[in-house]
Amino acid sequence: MSMATASIHLMNNYSRWPVRLVKGQGNTVWDEAGRSYLDFTSGLGVTSLGHVPPSVAKKLHEQIDTLWHSSNLFEHPLQEQLAAKLCQVSGLDRAFFCNSGAEANEAAIKLARRYAQRVKGEERYEVITFQQSFHGRTLATLTATGQEKVKDGFAPLPDGFKSIPFNDSQALRNAISDRTCAVMLELVQGEGGVHPADPAWVKEVRQLCDEHGILLIIDEVQTGIGRTGDWFAFQQYGIKPDIISVAKALGSGFPVGGILADSHVAEGFAPGSHGTTFGGNPLAMAAGIATLETIEQEQLLVKVKALHQSLFQRLQQIQQAVPDKVKAVRGRGLLLGMEVTLPAADILAAAREQGVLLLQAGPQVVRLLPSFVTTEAEIDQVADLLLSIIRSQ
């Protein structure tokens, strides 16, 4: 079946690359013609243990022969097990499971509003977010997103969101009002250009939230589960959030998301206030448990930090070699961006022709999201290729 024929029944909401992937193992994926590609996208930050990691596959195979679904009318031992582990590594107290990052952020927004209104008895509902952020594609989460391109054609958008400049303390002070219930923040704006938050500013955000009695939500959908070299990015900033959202890497490719919250904030949800049919199903929980166990047993957080040093250094060397074409290198852990003066899409297309898959984060930022099991040789391969492509453009 040709690609054109295969696409006629699908809605046209993706600009797809001319590659049909049919198999993955480790850091390699193969198309239907048998051509291999080195994957430095991790499926948009999802397959952090590589494709089809054996430890997760084993757990899923065991679970698929046992129980797939039972609904949240029943107690879930695997939910309890994964929740306990996530609370242990995050320092937060309670978990709620869903299916995706957008659902996780939706749940975080709902919890923040309900906590303000039902627990504290305050008529607060507004959530402050930041320009160039990305929080999802539901009506609420795209409204929270600080990028106009995702909002086009979806008016009227829900009330209760205010987007202000990133890393700007005065803008936040000016934005907080008696209607504000939460601040929602990515510590590295991945989709928005791979922009890390300033550590001093983040501490000030936490302080302002405390002073005004509002919640701090940290969106860890892309940065969480080890991507920055710690379990969560907030652990590198010396602050503790009230709510965090997680997804992407939590299931190693199996759809799973969730939020974690301190116990007093979690009181905002009561039976019937929020729910999900598929969220927290046994297959997703098995994948999540196996993912966390693998990261811990194989000491992959240590490896992420070492790989960051290698990849960041190689990208800086590219910048030094072609300073007229590479403006900046930034990011944390294995979430890195290289800002270029060329169209990032052209660099991605050239790399794809050479068997390497990369991402972009805006028109002129190449985004690199390699897996935690990437090798030094693969880093060298990608860096050498990038330098060659950029020099030739």
Domain architecture of the chain: domains with CATH: 3-53+301-392 (3.90.1150.10), 67-297 (3.40.640.10)
Q: Which single residue is written with the structure tokens 């430095």? A: 40
Angle between helical axes of 300-321 and 282-297 (0-180°, round to 10): 80
Who contacts 165 (Cβ-Cβ below 8 Å, separation ≥6)?
Answer: 130, 131, 171
Statement: residue 152 has pLDDT above 50 = yes
Q: Provide the 3-class DSSP secondary structure of residue 126.
A: strand
Q: Which single residue is written with the structure tokens 């949800």? A: 269
Query: CA 95 to CA 259: how far, in whole Å?
Result: 6
Residue 181 — φ and ψ, nearest 5°? -110, -20
**Contact assessment for residue 135 and residue 112, using Cβ atoms and an 8 Å cutoff:** no
Characterize the bridge pairing of strands 365-368 and 335-340. Answer: antiparallel
Confidence of residue 8 (pLDDT cuts 50, 70, 90): confident
Q: Please give the structure tokens belonging to residue 293.
A: 């166990």
Q: How far is CA 363 from CA 66, 359, 392, in A?
A: 46, 11, 19
Confidence of residue 6 (pLDDT cuts 50, 70, 90): low
Statement: residue 179 has pLDDT above 60 = yes
**Residue 75, Cβ density class (10 Å: 0-12 exposed, 13-18 middle, ≥19 buried):** exposed
**Nearest in space to 185 (alpha carbons), one of 173, 174, 198:** 198
Q: What is the pLDDT of residues 319-364, one digit of tens each?
A: 999 999 999 999 999 999 999 999 999 999 999 999 999 999 999 9
Mean pLDDT along residues 129-134: 97
**Contact assessment for residue 46 and residue 248, using Cβ atoms and an 8 Å cutoff:** yes
Confidence of residue 7 (pLDDT cuts 50, 70, 90): confident
Confidence of residue 1 (pLDDT cuts 50, 70, 90): very low
Statement: residue 250 has pLDDT above 60 = yes
Confidence of residue 36 (pLDDT cuts 50, 70, 90): very high
In our burial notation (b when 16+ CB lie closer than 10 A, e otherwise), range 301-340 reads bebbbebbeebbebbeebbeebeebbeebbbbbbbbbbbb
Statement: residue 3 has pLDDT above 80 = no
In our burial notation (b when 16+ CB lie closer than 10 A, e otherwise), range 33-49 reads eeeebbbbbbbebbbbb
Statement: residue 381 has pLDDT above 80 = yes
* Rounded percentage of the chain residues whose pLDDT exceeds 70: 98
What is the enclosing helix (H) or strand (E) of 183?
strand 180-185
Q: What is the pLDDT of residue 2?
A: 45
Q: What is the pLDDT of residue 104?
A: 98
Confidence of residue 4 (pLDDT cuts 50, 70, 90): very low
Mean pLDDT along residues 265-271: 97
Residue 19 — φ and ψ, nearest 5°? -140, 130
Statement: residue 5 has pLDDT above 70 = no
CB count within 10 Å of CB 201 equals 16
Cα four-point dihedral sign 79, 84, 87, 92: positive
pTM of the model: 0.96
Q: What is the pLDDT of residues 60-94, one digit of tens each?
A: 999 999 999 999 999 999 999 999 999 999 999 99
